[in-house]
Chains A and B, each alone.
Chain A
């Protein structure tokens, strides 16, 4: 079981609104999955290097040549709100 306050804290970090009912359900479901995940605590891993990426790629750079960027109107075409050639967001001052 995870405390409801902890669920709410994580939801805030994730910028995710949850209803009270969702918080209750999440507390139970996450606890179930975390119980399973806890099996890796049994392993002795102290001398093991972590793997963040399976393929050894270092500094994959391309040539530094200017290329056309996405035209402004295309970049804005999918935006929910546009103002002054930019993305518009709600503001208490607006």
Chain B
């Protein structure tokens, strides 16, 4: 059993293809672990393996974030307002992965409607970090990240709006890729902020991320008018050096506000990159410090519109005993949404309301333009931008729940790439003690590249991963 768990997803797929491993046995090994989950990473686990499908993903089972619609299976986006909701259709990306041979293992816990950086905002209880169960796994894809780090799942699907794949990957010591906006269909994803939401893989290593991502992209999805055909195919990375690769390190995202232990691990990784032949130089993203402010206008504004659909009429929870329609709406939404979701709906509605639209939403859209221009200028001189993924290591449960702004600052280094729509990957680059001392915890390094540079990004991340030799097993969980 433990030999099966020790295999990366790519190695497991190869073992199944070679006839050395039975796909049913592989599924059951993970199913049993997911069903005995102690981290609250799963909100639903399959009872048995679906009929086998031959494909490049080799029958390696997949954990899927709760917000992806899966026909006949609870899809609640971490919200009590959708408790028990089973949609009549399946998200395009989940369908594509199942057709490529990755059967659904279970649905993973998340911050409600993907709003959060700790998974403490779930309507179904917080997720624990497998490195230290007193700490958060990050969020919003915290269930997916914890499941992969604790080997409850070989790999997982998450979504990233402002950092929700990359930050939990960093805090759990695994790999997370936020693709180019539009590369993966959003059809069947319960929407948070539609101009930013993007699905991506959370995996044990870069090779697994490339293998899974390769089956997520492809032809344009006629059911998502913002999806794009991916130019070419995703190759498994082979590169072991970084000769001639130019890395830019934005001063705005790699100094102030970053924990000292995180900076040390980040700088050690930059040295390794130099050792592999890369040139590493400071660069400027002058508007990056304003990205968070723009994001916390744009994302809540889009959310306030997207979440209007939860009205107690067509699906989900309805408050009982309302005298008229308006009371039914307002009480359903009061009872069904958690505090953070209410906060964002209020913030977004305020920013879009008469008299404030230009000052908030209009200005934030212009900041978004400036941030995209900053990246375009930087990519004239550099192949990739490198930053710490998150400003700190995993923090204790409850440490930031009382201060929304402190929680939002977790996204400081990841939000600029989201606003620009460019791909970014987080890989583990070492361990660091938390500021108060204690067990060392994983640190993530973020590499970002121009739109549709995923192959080059995965190659560079792979080369660096080989040099870092991070031991990915969370203590006491394997």
Residues of A within 8 A of B (CB): 7, 10-11, 13-19, 22, 26, 29-30, 32-34, 36-41, 43, 45, 48-55, 57, 60, 62, 70, 74-75, 77-81, 87, 89-92
Contacts and interface: CB of A to CB of B under 8 A. Distances in A.
Interface in B289-317: 290, 292-294, 296-297, 304, 308, 311-317
A92 B360 CA distance: 39
A10 B346 contact: yes
B318 A33 contact: no
A21 to B, nearest CB: 11
Given A30-B347, A90-B323, A92-B323, A53 B226 contact: yes
A41 B296 contact: no
A78 B315 CA distance: 5
Given A54-B372, A55-B226, A43 B290 contact: yes
B470 interface: no
A33 B405 contact: yes
Interface string B337-374: 10000110111011001000001101111111110100
Contact of A41 (B318, B328, B331, B363): B363
Given A14-B304, A18-B334, A90 B346 contact: no
A4 to B, nearest CB: 13
Nearest to B324: A92
Nearest to B89: A70
B18 interface: no
Nearest to B368: A51
A41 B356 CA distance: 12
B314 to A, nearest CB: 6
6 contacts: A18-B342, A29-B404, A33-B404, A45-B363, A48-B369, A75-B314
A47 to B, nearest CB: 9
Given A33-B408, A55-B181, A78 B87 contact: yes
Interface string B408-433: 10000000000111000000000000
Contacts of B312: 80
Interface in B87-142: 87-89
B410 to A, nearest CB: 14
A11 B342 CA distance: 9
A17 B345 CA distance: 12
Nearest to B350: A10
Given A78-B87, A78-B316, A37 B297 contact: yes
A50 to B, nearest CB: 3
Given A50-B369, A51-B366, 4 more contacts: A33-B296, A43-B370, A51-B368, A90-B322
A58 to B, nearest CB: 10
Contact of B226 (A26, A39, A60): A60
Given A17-B330, A30-B347, A37 B372 contact: no
